[in-house]
Amino acid sequence: MLGDMNAKLGKEKVFSQVVGCHTLHDISNENGEMVANYAISNDMFFISTNFQHKKIHIETWTSPDHQTINQIDHVMVSKEKMRLIHDVRSKRGYNCDSDHSLVQIKIKQKLLIIKNRQSKSINGIDNY
C-alpha cells in the first residue's frame, strides 16, 4: 500500500514492530497512530522507514516556504513480502505540479517463465 497518508510516524516504542528506525519524526501525529494501529492489526510494516538515507531522500513533503519538511507519504507492505523491497526513497526535483516528492520503490522479484504448450499438431506429433 502506497499513499499520501498525512501520517508522521515517530520512533515510539509501541510502534517499533511496524515502523523502522529511519523515520524522519520522533513523535507520531494522530494519522500516524491510526495507520500504525492498522499496520499492527494487519501484520504489515512501513518499509519506507526501514532504509537509511540522507534527510533529503526521506522527506516527502516540503512546505511552500521551504522551511518545514515532513515524511508523510509511506509504503506499507505485509511482513511476509518485506524481503522483496530493496529500497524506498523520495526523488526531489521532478516537475509533477505538487508539493510532494515522488517516492521510488525498488522491488526485486524473480518472474516465472511460462511456456505455451500446444496439445497436438496436425500430423499427431506433440509440439513444445
SS3 string, the chain, reads: CEEECCCCCCCCHHHCCCECCCCCCCCCCHHHHHHHHHHHHCCEEEHHHCCCCCHHHCCCEECCCCCCEECCEEEEEEHHHHHHEEEEEEECCCCCCCCECEEEEEECCCCCCCCCCECCCCCCCCEC
- Residue 122: pLDDT band (50, 70, 90) is low
Higher pLDDT, 91 or 36: 36
Please write the tens of the pLDDT for every residue from 94-107. Answer: 777 788 888 999 99
Q: Mind listing the domains of the chain with CATH numbers?
A: 2-107 (3.60.10.10)
- Residue 118: pLDDT band (50, 70, 90) is low
Is it the case that residue 128 has pLDDT exceeding 80? no
What pLDDT sits at residue 29?
Answer: 95
Please write the tens of the pLDDT for every residue from 42-51. Answer: 999 999 999 9
Round the average pLDDT of the chain to a whole number and report it: 87
- Residue 115: pLDDT band (50, 70, 90) is confident
In sequence order, which residues have a C-beta less than 8 Å from that of residue 9 and are 6 or more positions away?
A: 15, 19, 23, 25, 28, 32, 35, 36, 46, 49, 71, 74
